[in-house]
Amino acid sequence: MTLGRQYSKLVPLIREFLQFAKQNNRPIHLMGCEKSGAYFDYLSIVSQFIMPENNGLMYAVLNHGYIRREIQRTPDHVNPYGLRANWGEKVFVVIDANTHMTLNMTTGEYRPDDSFPEDKDIIGLNRILSTLPSLVSRKYEGALYPVELVNGIASMSNYPSTKILQDFVRDILI
């Protein structure tokens, strides 16, 4: 579900694998959903002024220049945006007046220019966007059923804390 800790050394390899699959006509449609952070906060403000028409979702693939200028509000850096930190690119999606999300979607290759990526660079963009409305959960803001179900299974709050402590102590003493 997630790659925790520092994984910057894996990012180029992940991109290389996704690009290989794309070039061999076996594209991998991969997406992540952010629940908090600068992009989520930015979209929460902007989405108040966006109203999808005819129950159709709206989206925006954010290029590196837009992210740097409008969201991060930083000048050029020695390392371009996302060079070693992101396996995917940011896509804002507004499904309806109450549902918006910041997604990470893959491109395979990485290009450092400010105009990258464009819609055509995102692997499986149309297919993911057409599937997305059927995955939305109304239980939490911006939640998706598969993520919600996995989090429910893996959540520490589902296990009595006494039992966790007993198991931990037992494992140490053995």
Tokens coding 6:
């520092």
Peptide bond into 146 cis (omega under 30): no
Residue 164 forms part of a structural domain = no
Average per-residue pLDDT for the chain: 83
158 located within any domain:
no
Q: How far apart are CA 18 and CA 149, in angstroms?
A: 26
Q: How far apart are CA 99 and CA 38, in angstroms?
A: 17
For residue 57, the tally of other CB atoms under 10 A from its CB is 17
Q: What are 58's strand-pairing partners?
A: 94
Q: For residue 126, what are the domain limits?
A: 11-143
3-class secondary structure, 165? helix
Q: What is the pLDDT of residues 98-134, one digit of tens each?
A: 888 999 999 999 998 999 999 999 999 999 999 998 8
Residue 20, token pair as written in the block = 């290989």
Q: Quick check: is 168 in a domain?
A: no
The predicted structure's pLDDT at residue 6 = 66
Q: Is the pTM of this model over 0.85?
A: no
Does some domain include residue 151? no
Whether residue 157 is contained in a domain is answered as no
173 falls within a domain: no
Residue holding tokens 């109450």? Answer: 98
